[in-house]
Structures are given as C-alpha cells and as structure tokens.
Amino acid sequence: MLVKCICTNCAGHLEFEEENAGEKIDCPHCGFETTLALPGTQAAEPELLAAIRRRALLRRLRPFLAAALAVAAFGYALYRWGVPWLQDFAPSLDTTGKAFAVLLVACAVLPFVLLWLVFPVFLFFQVRKGLGLLEELTQALKPRESEPAPAPDEPAADAGEEQAPPE
C-alpha cells in the first residue's frame, strides 16, 4: 500500500510502499537525503513545521506580491516619466504631488473613457453581423423562384415520362 510522507529538507511530498519505511533515500524534489517515515510514528520537528508553514504562506502571498510589484513599477514609471512631461505641459502644476495626483486620476478614468468610446463600435459591428446572418437565414427559408411549386390541380410529372403538349 502506498504511504505518503514529507521530505525533512524541502517539505516535498513523497509516496512509498509501506515495507520501505525507515529507508534513507535521495529526495526527488531537492536531492538531499531523507528518511521515509510512516505517518504518526515520528513526531514532527518544530523547525520543520515552521519551515512548512513559512513556505505555504509564501506560496499563497506570491500573487499578491507580484501585483504589488507591478503597481509599484507602474507608479515609478509615472513618477519618472509622466510627472516631468505633465509639468512641462501644464506649468500650473508646480509641485510633483499635484502632477502625480493628476496622472493617477487620468489613469483611473482613461479605461472607462476608452470603454465608452470603443464599446459602441464593437456593438455596431456585432449588430451588423447579426443582421447579415438573419438575412442569410431568411434567404435560405424562402422558396426558390427558379423552381415553381407544382399547382395543386396538376399532377406532378415523373422524370422519365414526357408530357403531351396541351391541345
């Protein structure tokens, strides 16, 4: 039966057969030697538990740290290149704080303005495409004028027979 344990070095999960308990192997995750222990037979060391908790916390915080780094980089780019340009463009913004606040407000409002301007164009093209499909559907459902429908009082002619001309 397969049993799971944790590497004492990297906290990686290891699976092994129950009869291999107590053997020392090289961890496939980190390469360091670790002992295969059955669950519950060995008390977890406090240092190991702390390392596992720290690693799990860092794993959960990684996306938030990446987002904070991206926001910080964007703020630095605004401060470094946007503020001097804005101060040259609008001399009434004499302090860096005012110029930075104007840039932040512009960055917050710009996506909504672009959405307000671009969305109707996309909507127009989608409606136009839908109307084209509707016209194609109505054309497909109309009877074709090149093939007249047989009159109800005349019997339909077979393909192999010729009709006699009317007298």
Q: What percent of the chain has pLDDT over 90?
A: 8
> CB of 66 within 8 A of CB of 44?
no
Average confidence (pLDDT) over 143-147: 65
Measure the CA–CA gap between 133 and 136, rounded to whole angstroms: 5
Measure the CA–CA gap between 40 and 75, rounded to whole angstroms: 51
Measure the CA–CA gap between 49 and 102, rounded to whole angstroms: 49
Backbone angles phi, psi at 80, to 5 degrees: -75, -45
pLDDT digits (tens, 9 = 90+) for 74-93: 888 888 888 888 888 888 87
For residue 164, pLDDT over 70 is answered with no
Which sequence spans correspond to the domains of the chain? 1-43, 61-139
For residue 66, pLDDT over 70 is answered with yes
116 vs 44 pLDDT, higher one: 116
9 vs 129 pLDDT, higher one: 129
Give pLDDT, residue 69: 95
Neighbours of 84 (CB within 10 A): 12
Measure the CA–CA gap between 85 and 74, rounded to whole angstroms: 16
Measure the CA–CA gap between 4 and 38, rounded to whole angstroms: 8
Residue with tokens 């016209």: 135
Neighbours of 79 (CB within 10 A): 14
Average confidence (pLDDT) over 44-58: 83
40 vs 140 pLDDT, higher one: 140
Tokens of 109: 């409002």
